[in-house]
């Protein structure tokens, strides 16, 4: 089993093994943790295992061509998008941000390019308007395990999975998330802001200002509402949420977090800021 080296985590920044390493050790599986696979020594160690097939899931390190060529059946990658849409690091969040109607998991034969290899198997799932980055991640994780298990069963049975080359049309790249993207700009359309809130739950969590106070916005919904208010101003506030004027429509914030606090509902927040209940 290969996984990245232990990394600092938590408040104490203590070196912490990955969940993959913990599961492998519990099962009695040897674990390798090279900083990279570019050195001859790292490749020699890998070659000594004489792999028939290598499976890569969110490994985070680039596999050189010489490594890709080591296994008899090559290398497979489980990727959380419907390729060629959303190649790259953050396909789940990018799909929600873009308002995609569906996502899925592709079992892909790896090659030197970034997520460019042919697709062997695929599973699809609709993206619901209630989906967050976390909920879609969990559903795709289950589909990924399903599609990988199917592929492995068929490979063990001697079946050769038919590779389907990715079409040249429709290629998009899911660039790595940047914390700066979490800032809500109320000049934008309310539906775009709703997607931003959903996509960045649970990380990095959307951030916005309500009546002068910077907050983390955990849950919100776009509503159709005509208004002449300045974007970012509070239109109304009550038990159902706090409605913020947007460039088009309004964003009803239903769950948020104050600095140093925990996630709370809008009603609890208004108990601390009752002056907002009179907003119009």
In the annotated binding site for (6S)-5,6,7,8-tetrahydrofolate, the residues are 81-84
Residue 258 has φ and ψ, to the nearest 5°, of: -85, 160
Q: Please give the Cα distance from 220 to 242 (Å, whole number).
A: 9
C-beta separation of 223 from 250 below 8 A: yes
Could you count the other beta carbons within 10 Å of the beta carbon of residue 45? 14
Task: Give the residue ranges of DSSP H helices in the chain.
Answer: 19-26, 40-48, 65-68, 91-97, 133-156, 190-199, 266-272
- The residues, ordered by sequence, that sit 6+ positions from 19 with a Cβ below 8 Å of its Cβ are none
| CB 200, CB 181: distance < 8 Å | yes
User: CA triplet 56, 137, 149: central angle to 5 degrees?
Assistant: 45
Q: Is 52 exposed, middle or buried (0-12, 13-18, 19+ CB in 10 A)?
A: exposed
- Peptide bond before residue 84 is cis, with ω within 30 degrees of 0: yes
Instruction: Please give the annotated binding residues, written as ranges.
Output: 81-84
Pairing of strands 14-16, 87-88: unpaired
Sign of the dihedral through C-alpha 185, 186, 191, 194: positive
């Amino acid at each position: 089993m290969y996984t990245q080296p232990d990394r600092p985590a938590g408040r104490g920044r203590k070196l912490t093994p990955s969940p993959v390493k913990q599961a492998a050790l519990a099962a009695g599986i040897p674990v390798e943790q090279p900083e990279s696979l570019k050195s001859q020594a790292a490749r020699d160690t890998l070659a000594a295992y004489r792999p028939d097939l290598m499976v890569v899931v969110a490994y985070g390190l680039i596999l050189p061509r010489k490594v890709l060529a080591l296994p008899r059946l090559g290398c497979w990658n489980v990727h959380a998008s419907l390729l060629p849409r959303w190649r790259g690091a953050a396909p789940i969040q990018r799909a929600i941000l873009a308002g995609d109607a569906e996502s899925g998991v592709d079992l892909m034969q790896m090659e030197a390019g970034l997520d460019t290899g042919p697709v062997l198997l695929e599973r699809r799932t609709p993206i619901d308007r209630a989906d967050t980055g976390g909920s879609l991640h969990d559903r795709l994780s289950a589909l990924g395990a399903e599609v990988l298990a199917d592929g492995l069963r068929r490979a063990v049975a001697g079946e050769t999975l038919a590779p389907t080359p990715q079409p040249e049309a429709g290629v998009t790249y899911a660039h790595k998330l940047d914390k700066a993207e979490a800032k809500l700009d109320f000049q934008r359309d309310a539906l775009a802001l709703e997607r931003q809130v959903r996509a960045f739950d649970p990380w990095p969590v959307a951030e916005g200002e309500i009546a002068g106070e910077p907050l983390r916005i955990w849950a919100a919904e776009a509503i159709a509402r005509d208004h002449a208010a300045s974007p970012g101003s509070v239109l109304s506030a009550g038990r159902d949420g706090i409605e913020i004027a947007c460039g088009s429509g309004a964003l009803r914030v239903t769950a948020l977090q104050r600095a140093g606090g925990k996630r709370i509902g809008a009603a609890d927040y208004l108990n601390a800021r009752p002056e907002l209940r009179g907003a119009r």
